[in-house]
Chain A
């Protein structure tokens, strides 16, 4: 069986859901005949036409607002931000309009906003950010960040079907590097459920997206040194699967949180606070974080690499934590 890359999985999810449900449509910049800069929608314009694969002008706020309008009267828009960084131009619409609608007047807003995000490719301060915490702070948004093609497929399909706004973070570095064999059929991954990717007994790692893969590499290294690391892929950040996290922490008593976003007020801070609150009696060491320094992402690749929370830094942090 041919392997499916992460970006192919995204395209498959979009295609399958458009076939399944005529109310699903795509909006974004350069997504129609061109297929988007990452070709996520390649072939879908030809199949579904200009009213279901809509090229928008160069705008974000207006596009989010228009998607909201369509969603209110029964459509299921899937909006692509060309790069996650540009979602800041649509921030007001997302946090004030989209996120608050259901609470305010109980009309569902089925909408997915796809955010190709993350660093590692020397793209500089404005094409490398990890904006999950900007949205996790706002009630009413489901924020997800799948790390594998299987979950990218299953979670995008679930997100499109869910009656709520979903911020869907796709790491650009994974698009063509992650591949796996995927069976045919209607593959769904539940939203709001973490995944224990590697079982262990000494330390728990909580991570998602690209750093999840780095964490797995570090866990394999520690295994050679006799330390058993449990690695949890959060997959969904909000709403958080606390059961899976707390159960693991109560078992291992040590936690390392790993994310690519900058450290201060990153989502790791929320995880650390909840663990301190709910697992205090079980902890045998400090809740530690490996994350990006509080800096923009520099352009030069060597500079960027020096800040990215990769496997070496994770390995070093695990060793320290294991010694506690």
Chain B
């Protein structure tokens, strides 16, 4: 681990190992399975052409869930296109969604603040299908929205297509926390390809200078569309860049739940106690192509693909649960089946919902006020309609 040289020394890394807390493991298992079930369903629909495009997060679950699980109410989350696991983990109270899988004492204080999980899951499914009931009611695609509801403890800012552009926004969320004098932190995600963007540099430099409570997780799945690491950057590890910004940096095996979760807990402790930002690189297997069926998967050498498919983080996580006696085979199957049923229901319901009203296309671009009023006064005839 590399830490800023011109700052106070960091607090000693606390050994927060997941296997000390079975509640964390139950939650992690459920959300990883929920994320995988969602991907399986959407991949299947993409294969038969029922949806146009799907960016699978298969292989990212341990990283997205393992980091997001460390957040508390009103920490902020900034996601890109393979972070469904983090979104589900942040939004949903699993004890109300799948009561049979959880025990007394599993429901947290934050869970109590969260809204009914089924409704939120339905909104998410509608969002992904571009339907009326989605967060954007049809005007933007899958994970391109935000949900800021302090009363639910949720502060989530989704992506725009321009990769890298959300990193400064995540820094700005962290800046607001500093201005408010809270100990709240921000978890942001980015693919390794987008670390080549200027916004990555500008945001991490700002985070270093201002000691912002930002944790930027790089999901390094070794490819960006078709571009391999060797054509993306020339440093050995992306976390090597951290000392250049005066922030902490770490590279962990993104398939190792204990390592991911412990690194995230160290980062969040630094963020909460004024030691600033962390660049946390998680190494992932590229188990799928860029988007389903776009030909990019075939660009990966076949032997390498075989290797990645063997590294499934869910298989590994479940093996460790079994080995350490946290679950038996029956429970593993029950969690898998429950997750599949929950997703199946949500997708079926979403497929029956209505298209958005056409009026959504011309809804206001300005929030209510004198600017919005002036905009509404402008003639619409000039567009020929």
Whether B374 contacts A239 by the Cβ 8 Å rule is yes
Chain B residue numbers with a CB within 8 Å of A102 are 364-367
The residue on B at minimum CB distance from A55 is B209
- Docked Cα-Cα span, A202 to B372, in Å, equals 33
Binary interface profile of A, 62-76, with partner B (CB < 8 Å = 1, else 0)? 111111111111110
Secondary structure of the B side of the interface? helix
B interface, how many residues as a size bin? 35 or more
Say yes or no: is A107 at the interface (Cβ < 8 Å to chain B).
yes
Taking a contact as CB atoms under 8 Å apart, the answer to whether A59 and B370 are in contact is: no
Interface residues of B in 144-175 (CB under 8 A from A): 144-148, 155, 157-158, 160-162, 165-175
Q: How far is the CB of B209 from the nearest CB of chain A, in Å?
A: 6
CB distance from B194 to the nearest CB of A (A): 13
A236 nearest CB across to chain B (Å)? 7
B157 touching A69 by the CB < 8 A rule?
yes
Tell which of B179, B202, B379 has the most Cβ of chain A within 10 Å: B202
Chain A, residue nearest B159 (CB): A97
Pick from A36-44, A157-165, A215-223, A314-322 the stretch touching chain B.
Answer: A157-165
> B363 near A: Cβ within 8 Å?
yes
CA distance A73 to B157 in the complex (A): 10
A257 at the B interface (CB under 8 A): no
B12 within 8 A of A: no
> Bound state CA distance, A238 and B375, in angstroms?
8
Instruction: List the A side residues contacting B377 at CB < 8 Å.
Output: 192, 239, 241-243
- Residue pair B139, A66 in contact (C-beta under 8 Å): no
Once the chains bind, are A62 and B206 in contact (CB under 8 Å)? yes
CB pair A236 B206 closer than 8 Å: no
Interface size of A as a range: 35 or more
**Pairwise interchain contact A191-B176, C-beta atoms closer than 8 A:** no
Whether the pair A96, B165 counts as a contact (CB closer than 8 A) is yes
Question: How far apart are A81's CB and chain B's nearest CB, in angstroms?
Answer: 14
Chain B CB within 10 Å — which of A106, A140, A162, A243 has the most?
A106
- Nearest residue (CB) in B for A109 is B367
Residues on B facing A (Cβ under 8 Å): 76, 135-136, 139-140, 144-148, 155, 157-158, 160-162, 165-176, 178-179, 198-199, 201-203, 205-206, 209-210, 363-375, 377-379, 381-382
A: residues with CB less than 8 A from B are: 25, 51-52, 54, 56-57, 59, 61-75, 92-93, 96-97, 99-109, 139-140, 142, 158, 162-164, 166, 190-193, 236, 238-243, 273-274, 277-278
In the A-B complex, the 7 residue pairs with the smallest Cβ-Cβ separation, listed nearest first, are A69-B172, A192-B374, A65-B168, A62-B202, A66-B172, A108-B367, A239-B375
